[in-house]
Amino acid sequence: MPRSFLVKKYFAKQKPNYSELVCHNDTSLERYPLAELPSGDNTCFTTGLVWDLSVLPALYLPISQTEPSATPGPLDLSSPSSLSSSASSCGEEDEGRTSDPPSPEPVHTYAPRQRMKCTGVMPHISPPEEEEEEERKAPAIAARPAFLCKHCPKEYTSLGALKMHIRSHTLPCVCTTCGKAFSRPWLLRGHIRTHTGERPFSCTHCNRAFADRSNLRAHLQTHAEVKKYQCGVCSRTFSRMSLLQKHSSSGCCSSAV
Partner DNA sequence: CTGGGGACGGGGCCC
Partner DNA sequence: TGGGCCCCGTCCCCA
What is the closest distance, in whole angstroms, from the C-beta atom of residue 66 to DNA in the complex?
14
| Identity of the residue, 9 or 82, whose beta carbon is nearer to DNA in the bound complex | 9
What is the closest distance, in whole angstroms, from the C-beta atom of residue 123 to DNA in the complex?
8
Amino acid at residue number 65? Q
What is the closest distance, in whole angstroms, from the C-beta atom of residue 239 to DNA in the complex?
4
Give which of 235, 234, 237 is closest to 223, Cα–Cα. 237
| Identity of the residue, 79 or 239, whose beta carbon is nearer to DNA in the bound complex | 239
Do 201 and 209 form a contact (C-beta atoms < 8 A)? yes
Backbone angles phi, psi at 38, to 5 degrees: -70, 155
Task: Provide the 8-state DSSP code for 178.
Answer: T
> Helix, strand, coil proportions of the chain in percent (round to 5)?
35, 10, 60
Q: What are 86's strand-pairing partners?
A: 174
Backbone angles phi, psi at 210, to 5 degrees: -135, 155
Q: What are 49's strand-pairing partners?
A: 44
| Identity of the residue, 40 or 117, whose beta carbon is nearer to DNA in the bound complex | 117
| Identity of the residue, 8 or 31, whose beta carbon is nearer to DNA in the bound complex | 8
What is the closest distance, in whole angstroms, from the C-beta atom of residue 177 to DNA in the complex?
10
Pairing mode, strands 209-210 and 147-148: unpaired
What is the closest distance, in whole angstroms, from the C-beta atom of residue 67 to DNA in the complex?
13
Do 212 and 194 form a contact (C-beta atoms < 8 A)? no
What is the closest distance, in whole angstroms, from the C-beta atom of residue 41 to DNA in the complex?
19
| Identity of the residue, 78 or 115, whose beta carbon is nearer to DNA in the bound complex | 115
CA distance 210 to 230: 25
For 119, the 3-state DSSP assignment is: coil
For 238, the 3-state DSSP assignment is: strand
Kind plus residue range of the DSSP H or E element containing 166: helix 159-170
| Identity of the residue, 176 or 183, whose beta carbon is nearer to DNA in the bound complex | 183
What is the closest distance, in whole angstroms, from the C-beta atom of residue 24 to DNA in the complex?
15
CA distance 83 to 169: 14
| Identity of the residue, 22 or 193, whose beta carbon is nearer to DNA in the bound complex | 193
